Amino acid sequence: MVTKSKKLVIPITDIVFLILGVKRDEVVAISIRPCPEWLYLAFGAVYAGVKVVGISFTYKDGSDLIASMERLQRCSLLAVDPGVDSKSWEILYTLIDGFTKEGHVKSVKLPSLRYVVGHRLSTLSDTSPSQPLKTIADLLTDRTGHDDISLPILDPDDIVALFQTSGSTGTPKFVARTHASCMHVRRIAGEQGLQYLSSTNAFNEIKCNS
């Protein structure tokens, strides 16, 4: 599927998640820095009926990622870029017990995780461990020829995304938002301008209407 607007055409990874075996109501976690590919993954997850969450992890022993995955419970796919000085990749690499070039992984410490997708792997530092991974570009290529796969019908009360809190009081928590609550804020933004979305009131409106 391609999402269109007046000025933008966005290729998305909707059915690729279904081809991989990601199930509806599972979670796709995205840990890549802002770029168009972030949108491809996020919109693709939404269309596939998969919950999407943006996450970050910084502890060298990976304990914050382990704790986040335990909270998410059903996170089956993680998209990751190397991070600053390849630190994100080096942390993740220590937690994965086995990779395949098709994107499948096994991890005792992250038991729900079945797939890892890489991005900007060419920026890995020379000292970082290398591993052939499926990339976001591969996902977009894999989508070709599978337009016969049907996407699920979405309900306004379905959870569309999980928002990670700052973690200032400990391990970050995740707040669920439905399609209906997010569209409520979109309607308000249409009436009052995009500036509203950056205000505290916008998040209060989501909370009250989710």
What is the pLDDT at residue 176? 87
Domain count, the chain: 2
Phi, psi of 118 (to 5 degrees): -100, 160
95 and 147 fall within a common domain = yes
Q: Is residue 96 helix, strand or coil? A: coil
Phi, psi of 53 (to 5 degrees): -145, 140
Region of residue 24 (left: phi > 0; alpha: psi -120 to 50; beta: else): beta
CA dist 170 and 161 (Å) reads: 21
- 194 class by beta-carbon count within 10 Å (0-12 exposed, 13-18 middle, 19+ buried): exposed
Amino acid at 207: K
Could you write out the DSSP letters of every residue in 12-61? --HHHHHHHTPPTT-EEEEE--SSHHHHHHHHHHHHTT-EEEE-----TT
What is the pLDDT at residue 186? 66
124 and 206 fall within a common domain = no
pLDDT tens-digit profile, the chain (210 residues): 444 444 444 456 777 888 788 888 899 999 998 888 888 888 888 888 899 999 889 899 999 999 999 999 999 999 999 888 889 999 999 999 988 888 899 999 999 999 999 888 887 776 666 677 888 888 878 776 676 778 888 888 998 888 887 767 667 788 888 888 877 766 766 655 445 444 444 444 444 444
What is the pLDDT at residue 120? 86
Question: For residue 11, what are the contacts with CB-CB under 8 A and spacing of at least 6?
Answer: 2, 40, 140, 143
The enclosing domain of 83 has a CATH number of 3.40.50.12780
Model-wide pTM > 0.85 = no
Q: Which domain holds residue 70?
A: 2-172
Q: Give the number of other Cβ atoms within 10 Å of residue 121's Cβ.
A: 17
142 and 207 fall within a common domain = no
Angle between helices 179-192 and 200-208 (to 10 degrees): 140
190 and 136 fall within a common domain = no
Angle between helices 87-95 and 63-72 (to 10 degrees): 70
69 and 97 fall within a common domain = yes
What is the pLDDT at residue 8? 42
Cα separations in angstroms, 101 against 114, 130, 131, 135: 13, 12, 8, 9
Place of tokens 């991005």: 119
103 and 157 fall within a common domain = yes
What is the pLDDT at residue 29? 94
What is the pLDDT at residue 202? 43
With beta carbons less than 8 A apart as the criterion, state whether 117 and 100 touch.
Answer: no
43 and 138 fall within a common domain = yes
